[in-house]
C-alpha cells in the first residue's frame, strides 16, 4: 500500500502538499466508514479518509426515540421478498427502480455485516432478527438498538477501519473536486481541501498556505445532507454537508426539492417522535421573552378527544406529511409552524400538565391511543408520569444532554425542523454519479423518492457504500493520472481557492467587518422562512433572488478575518452552502413552474386549494380558520413517475450571471429491473464478469 505521506509539488507556481491514493473517502459517518471498510474487505487497501471533524456528523450525534434501521424481513411467518421490498421503496414516488432493487437486495447483507461487527440488533433465542412496522412499511422490516442506532453503527465500523490501518486526515474542509474532461464526460482526478488546523500565513511571512491536495482515481462523498441550508434544523452542530463541491464539479442533483421535516427540540437538537408524542404533552407557545403563555392547539382543534388523539398519533406519524395535514396529525406541525414562523412566537412541550384539563379523560381518546397506553400501563396521571412509565430512558435522555433539560420540572422548546434530505447528488445502481469516479453515498446521495419507510436512510447508506466499494474494487483499481496531468487539472482550482481567501482576508485586513457568520446565519434563516415545510411560488422566488445576489457578489464582497481559522474555514463553507441553496431553490421554482403541488413533507401554497379541516374522514366538516398560506392542493402522485435532475454550471463569459446557471430536466424514473434469474445463466455471468457488470 502506498504511503499516505504527502509530497511537495509545484502547482501553478505554488508549493503544495499532495497525497496520492486510489480512493479518497470523504466523511467519517456510518456510510463513509462502511465504504472504507468494504474497500479493504474487497482487497482495495490504497484508501485514505478525509473529514472536517471525526467526532461530528449526523450518524454519530443524531437519533430519535427509537432510531430505526430498515431491512428485509428476517423473522416470523410473514412473507417477504427482495422484489416486494423494492416495490415498497419504489412506491414512494420519483424513485428509480434499479436503486430500489439494489437497496432491497443488499439490505440483508448490509444488515448482517453490522451484526457481525457487533451492532446489537435484537434477536430472539432462535436467532431471528425481530422487527416492527414503521411508517410507509407494509411488513415488519424495521429494527433498532434504541435512540443511538446510527452511533452504534459508526462506532463498530470505525473500530474495524482503525484495525485495518486506513489513514484519516482530520480537520480538512472540502474546497473543490478536481476533474478532467473525457470522451464520455468528466472524470474525477482529485480533491482540494483546506486544513482547518493551520492558520493562514501572516502578510509577508514565507509559509505555505493551509491547502492539501489528494490525487486519486475515485472519490466517495459521504458528507451527509446539506444541513447548513436551514437554520431551523435538527441536524447536530457540526453537520454541514459538502454538496456544493459536487455541483461545482458538474455532478447533477436529483429530487433535491424533497426534504423531510418534523417536530424536534431545538436546545438540544433531537427528534421528539415516538414516546414523546404518545404520552400527549401540552403544546404551549410564548412570546419571545417566555411570557404570554398560550395552549394554542385548542384555537384550531376544539374537540378535546381529537386533540389528544392527533398528538398521540404524532408518535407513529412523526414526520410532517402534507397528506395528513388535511385532517390528520400533521395539522399539529402546521399549528406549530404558525406560532413560530408566522407569529414569531416560541413553542414548548410541557410534560408537567395534561392538555386542556388538569386530569386526563381516557374515555375521550381514540381506541388506538387508549389501548396502547393501557397495554403499556401508562394510562395514568400527567405526561411526565406516562413517559416515565412508557419509556424512562426517553426522559433520562434529556437529563444527559447539553443543555440539560429536566422534563419533570421545565418545558422543552420545539419547532418544525429540517431533518433529512430525500434528494441529493445523482447516483446510478452502483452509486456512481454522472461524473466518473465520483460516488455520493449516505444522505449526500439522491437515492430516495418523495416518501420512504422510516429507517430506509440507514439501510441506503450501508447499501450505497457497499455497492460503491464493489464497483471501485472491480473497475477502478487503476493508478491516478500522472502528476503532470494532475497538476494541470488542479492548478486552476487551487488558484481560484487562493484568490477567494486572499480577497476575503484582504478586505478584513483593510477594516471591513467579517461577514461569514452573518451570511451563514442569513441563508439558514432565509431558507427556513421561505423554502421550508411551507412554500409558495412567491416565497421561493424571493429566496432565490436573494441567494442569487449573495452568490453573484460573494467573491467580491466576502470578508473574513485571516487571523481566525474559523473565519477562513467559513469562507469556503458559506460558498458551498450558497451554491447548494441556489441549486435547490432553482429546482423548487422549476417544480412549481411544472405544475408541481403539495407532496411529501412540503406544503406548496395554492390559492385554488383547500385549508385543513376540523372534521375527519372522507367528508370533513369545515375548513379551519387558518392563514391563506396553508391553502393547498395535493399532487395525488401526478409526478411520481418522473425524476427531476438539476445541474449548475459557472458563467462562461462576463456577460453571464456571475452566480452561474442552473438547468432542470425531467425524465421518466427507471423501472424495477426484471432480470433473468435462471440460476445457470446468472452463475455463468458471475463466473465471467463477477458481480459488477
Instruction: Output the 3-class SS for 503-561.
Output: HHHHHHHCCCCCCHHHHHHHHHHHHHHHCCCEECHHHHHHHHHHHHHHHHCHHHHCCCC
Residue 619 scores a pLDDT above 60: no
Q: How far apart are CA 540 and CA 532, in angstroms?
A: 10
Q: Predicted confidence band at 621 (pLDDT cuts at 50, 70, 90)?
A: low
- Is the Cα dihedral 458, 464, 470, 476 positive or negative? negative
Radius of gyration of the chain (CA): 25
Which listed CATH number (2.102.10.10, 1.20.58.100, 3.40.50.720, 3.40.50.960) goes with 511-637?
A: 1.20.58.100
Q: How far apart are CA 209 and CA 237, in angstroms?
A: 27
Task: Please state the φ and ψ torsions of residue 172, each to the nearest 5 degrees.
Answer: -130, 115
Pick from 613, 616, 610, 614: nearest CA to 633: 610
Pick from 551, 634, 635, 630: nearest CA to 586: 551
Pick from 493, 576, 489: nearest CA to 189: 489
Q: Which three cell numbers stand for residue 479?
A: 493508478
Q: In sequence order, what are the residues at sequence separation of 6 or more whose Cβ sits closer than 8 angstroms to the Cβ of residue 309?
A: 365, 366, 368, 369
Tell me if the bond preceding 268 is cis, omega within 30° of 0: yes
Share of the chain above pLDDT 70, in %: 98
- DSSP calls for 13-42: TEEEEEEE-SEEEE--SHHHHHHHHHHHHT
At which residue does the C-alpha cell 434499479 appear? 98
Residues 198-240 have pLDDT tens digits of 999 987 787 889 999 999 999 999 999 999 999 999 999 989 9
Q: What is the DSSP letter of 202?
A: P
At which residue does the C-alpha cell 369545515 appear? 622
Q: How far apart are CA 123 and CA 133, in angstroms?
A: 16
Q: For strands 47-50 and 23-26, give the pairing.
A: parallel
The beta-carbon contacts of 208-212 under 8 Å, at least 24 apart in sequence, are 208/15, 208/16, 208/17, 209/14, 209/16, 209/498, 210/568, 211/16, 211/175, 211/494, 211/497, 211/498, 212/6, 212/16, 212/17, 212/18, 212/19, 212/169, 212/172
pLDDT at 591: 98
Q: Which three cell numbers stand for residue 92?
A: 414512494
Q: Which three cell numbers stand for residue 465?
A: 457504500
Question: Average per-residue pLDDT in the chain?
Answer: 95
Domain ranges within the chain, ordered by starting residue: 260-418, 511-637
Q: Predicted confidence band at 676 (pLDDT cuts at 50, 70, 90)?
A: confident
Residues 33-76 have pLDDT tens digits of 999 999 999 999 999 999 999 999 999 999 888 899 999 999 99
pLDDT at 654: 84
Asked if 444 and 225 count as a contact pair (C-beta separation under 8 A), the reply is yes
pLDDT at 412: 98
Q: How far apart are CA 357 and CA 221, in angstroms?
A: 52
Residues 2-30 have pLDDT tens digits of 458 999 999 999 999 999 999 999 999 99
Amino acid at each position: 500500500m502506498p504511503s499516505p505521506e504527502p509530497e511537495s509539488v509545484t502547482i501553478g507556481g505554488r508549493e503544495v502538499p499532495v497525497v496520492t491514493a486510489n480512493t479518497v473517502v470523504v466523511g467519517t459517518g456510518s456510510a463513509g466508514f462502511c465504504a472504507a471498510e468494504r474497500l479493504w474487505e474487497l482487497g482495495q487497501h490504497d484508501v485514505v479518509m478525509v473529514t472536517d471533524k471525526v467526532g461530528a456528523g449526523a450518524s454519530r450525534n443524531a437519533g430519535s426515540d427509537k432510531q430505526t434501521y430498515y431491512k428485509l424481513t428476517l423473522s416470523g411467518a410473514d412473507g417477504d421478498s427482495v422484489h416486494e421490498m423494492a416495490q415498497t421503496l419504489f412506491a414512494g414516488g420519483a424513485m428509480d427502480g434499479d436503486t430500489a432493487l439494489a437497496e432491497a437486495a443488499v439490505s440483508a447483507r448490509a444488515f448482517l455485516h453490522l451484526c457481525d461487527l457487533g451492532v446489537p440488533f435484537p434477536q430472539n433465542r432462535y436467532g431471528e432478527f425481530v422487527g416492527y412496522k414503521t411508517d410507509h412499511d407494509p411488513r415488519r422490516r424495521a429494527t433498532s438498538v434504541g435512540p443511538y442506532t446510527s452511533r452504534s453503527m459508526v462506532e463498530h465500523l470505525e473500530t474495524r477501519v482503525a484495525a485495518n490501518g486506513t489513514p484519516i486526515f482530520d480537520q480538512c474542509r472540502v474546497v473543490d473536486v478536481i476533474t478532467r474532461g473525457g470522451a464520455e464526460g468528466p472524470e474525477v482526478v482529485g480533491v482540494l481541501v483546506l486544513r482547518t488546523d493551520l492558520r493562514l500565513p501572516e502578510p509577508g511571512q514565507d509559509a505555505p498556505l493551509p491547502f492539501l491536495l489528494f490525487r486519486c482515481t475515485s472519490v466517495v462523498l459521504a458528507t451527509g445532507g446539506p444541513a447548513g441550508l436551514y437554520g431551523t434544523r435538527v441536524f447536530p452542530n457540526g453537520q454541514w454537508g459538502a454538496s456544493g463541491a459536487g455541483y461545482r464539479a458538474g455532478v447533477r442533483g436529483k429530487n433535491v426539492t424533497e426534504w423531510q421535516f418534523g417536530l424536534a427540540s431545538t436546545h438540544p437538537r433531537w427528534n421528539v417522535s415516538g414516546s414523546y408524542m404518545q404520552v400527549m404533552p401540552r403544546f404551549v407557545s410564548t412570546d419571545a421573552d417566555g411570557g404570554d403563555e398560550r395552549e394554542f392547539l385548542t384555537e384550531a382543534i376544539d374537540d378535546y378527544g381529537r386533540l389528544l388523539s392527533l398528538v398521540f398519533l404524532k408518535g407513529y406519524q412523526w414526520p410532517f406529511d402534507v397528506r395528513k395535514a388535511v385532517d390528520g396529525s400533521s395539522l399539529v406541525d402546521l399549528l406549530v409552524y404558525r406560532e413560530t414562523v408566522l407569529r414569531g412566537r416560541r413553542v414548548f412541550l410541557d410534560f408537567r400538565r395534561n392538555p386542556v384539563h388538569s386530569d386526563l379523560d381516557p374515555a375521550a381518546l381514540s381506541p388506538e391511543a387508549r389501548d396502547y397506553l393501557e397495554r403499556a400501563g401508562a394510562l395514568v396521571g400527567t405526561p411526565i408520569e406516562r413517559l416515565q412509565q412508557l419509556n424512562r430512558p426517553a426522559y433520562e435522555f434529556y437529563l444527559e444532554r447539553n443543555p440539560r433539560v429536566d422534563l419533570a420540572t421545565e418545558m422543552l422548546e420545539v419547532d418544525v425542523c429540517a431533518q433529512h434530505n430525500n434528494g441529493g447528488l445523482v447516483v446510478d445502481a452502483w452509486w456512481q454519479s454522472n461524473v466518473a469516479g465520483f460516488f455520493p453515498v449516505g444522505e449526500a446521495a439522491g437515492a430516495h423518492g418523495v416518501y420512504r419507510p422510516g429507517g430506509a436512510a440507514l439501510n441506503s447508506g450501508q447499501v450505497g457504500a457497499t455497492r460503491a466499494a464493489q464497483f471501485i474494487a472491480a473497475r477502478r483499481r487503476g493508478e491516478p493520472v500522472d502528476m503532470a496531468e494532475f497538476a494541470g487539472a488542479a492548478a486552476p482550482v487551487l488558484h481560484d481557492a487562493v484568490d477567494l481567501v486572499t480577497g476575503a482576508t484582504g478586505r478584513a485586513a483593510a477594516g471591513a467587518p467579517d461577514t461569514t457568520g452573518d451570511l451563514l446565519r442569513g441563508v439558514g434563516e432565509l431558507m427556513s422562512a421561505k423554502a421550508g415545510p411551507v412554500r409558495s411560488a412567491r416565497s421561493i422566488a424571493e429566496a432565490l433572488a436573494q441567494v442569487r445576489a449573495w452568490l453573484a457578489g460573494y467573491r467580491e464582497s466576502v470578508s473574513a478575518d485571516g487571523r481566525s481559522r474559523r473565519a477562513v474555514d467559513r469562507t469556503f463553507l458559506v460558498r458551498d452552502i450558497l451554491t447548494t441553496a441556489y441549486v435547490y431553490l432553482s429546482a423548487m421554482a422549476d417544480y412549481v413552474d411544472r405544475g408541481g403541488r403539495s407532496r411529501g413533507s412540503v406544503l406548496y401554497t395554492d390559492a385554488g386549494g383547500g385549508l385543513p379541516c376540523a372534521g375527519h374522514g372522507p367528508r370533513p366538516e369545515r375548513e379551519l380558520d387558518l392563514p391563506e398560506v396553508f391553502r393547498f392542493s395535493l399532487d395525488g402522485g401526478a409526478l411520481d413517475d418522473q425524476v427531476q435532475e438539476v445541474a449548475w454550471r459557472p458563467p462562461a463569459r462576463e456577460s453571464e450571471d456571475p452566480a452561474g446557471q442552473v438547468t432542470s430536466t425531467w425524465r421518466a424514473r427507471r423501472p424495477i429491473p426484471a432480470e433473468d434469474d435462471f440460476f445457470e445463466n446468472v452463475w455463468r455471468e458471475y463466473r465471467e464478469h463477477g458481480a459488477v457488470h
